[in-house]
Amino acid sequence: MKDRIPFQKMLLDVPLQVLPAHEFYGTGSFQSHRHDFYMLLWVTKGNGEHEVNFHSQQLRPGRVLFIQQGQVHRVIRQPQQGWMILFQAGLFRQFNSRYPAHEQHGLLDYLNRQPFVDLVKPVSMIFHQLLPILKAAAETNPHEAVIADYLSILLYHANQLFRPLHPFLVHPQQAEKIRQLKGLIERNFRTERTAPFYSEKLGMVTRKLNELTLRLTGKLVLELVNDRLLSEAESLLAGTSLTVKEITFELGFIDHSHFGAYFKRMKGMTASEFRRQQLAHPRA
């Protein structure tokens, strides 16, 4: 029987690793932990369950789960067999620069509550053929430029399969505006929290942008910003050892009282109460 891979040995000074899921273990993975890398998990045999940003994700053969840097992850039940592709932010930035229409879209949307797709046969064949090549390249020459190409192929084809839970007819230009808005929010939510900032960046009147986001997402621009800000606050509280004061400044709040009032308004509890809740009541 092969030695299993300890939790602590992931991505040590390399941009990408390919690990067999069934050879991986670590008590830390069964506790809530905040990712400082990206992970693409492809299940090939057996069922499992992982938790991403406090939402349970059911795993089954053929399913690909995407976990982003900064998200809180917990393994509840590992599938019998599969592959985990772990990669650093630089490779993900390269993918987004090559395929900008995929940034913050579908599977790759940070706030997507179901960040998975089920592979169809042609894409499954691509994964089967390319993963051994990617694994070998990452082990022999982890800084080789072609590794970004292989990863981009997998991300591209997986994201192409994503279908929204409630599809609607929308003009492609409108969908592109929402994608651009989400990208802007991802890059600026810590410091910019007003709709006019985003509407100006997008060259739109604020009222028109709010009408568009309300129709396509059911939320106003400010609500989308708050969703991302709250998600980051929850992740830092549950997945790191940072103090509430440190998190306050990490998220760009003026002081502890401003952050405390914001968090209580959004969650109905204080930040300290939320943290204690996560520690005292592990999610099953």
pLDDT at 4 over 50: no
pLDDT of residue 1: 34
pLDDT of residue 279: 77
Kindly report, residue by residue over 215-243, the tens digit of the pLDDT.
989 999 999 999 999 999 999 999 999 99
User: Backbone dihedral region of 30: left (phi > 0), alpha (psi from -120 to 50 degrees) or beta?
Assistant: alpha
Name the token pair of 225.
């910003």
| pLDDT grade for 52, boundaries at 50, 70 and 90 | very high
Starting from the edge strand earliest in sequence, which strands make up the sheet with 116-118, in order?
A: 16-20, 81-87, 38-45, 63-67, 116-118
CA distance 100 to 151: 15
Give mean pLDDT, residues 153-162.
96
| pLDDT grade for 6, boundaries at 50, 70 and 90 | very low
- Structure pTM? 0.88
pLDDT of residue 8: 46
CA distance 27 to 108: 27
pLDDT of residue 2: 42
Residues 127 and 84 sit within 8 Å (Cβ to Cβ): no
Give mean pLDDT, residues 8-33.
77
pLDDT of residue 21: 87
More confident residue, 280 or 222: 222
pLDDT of residue 172: 81
Which residue, among 239, 264, 269, 268, has the nearest Cα to 253 in the 3D structure? 264
CA distance 160 to 181: 20
Kindly report, residue by residue over 99-137, the tens digit of the pLDDT.
999 999 999 999 999 999 999 999 999 999 999 999 999
* Per-chain mean pLDDT for the chain: 90
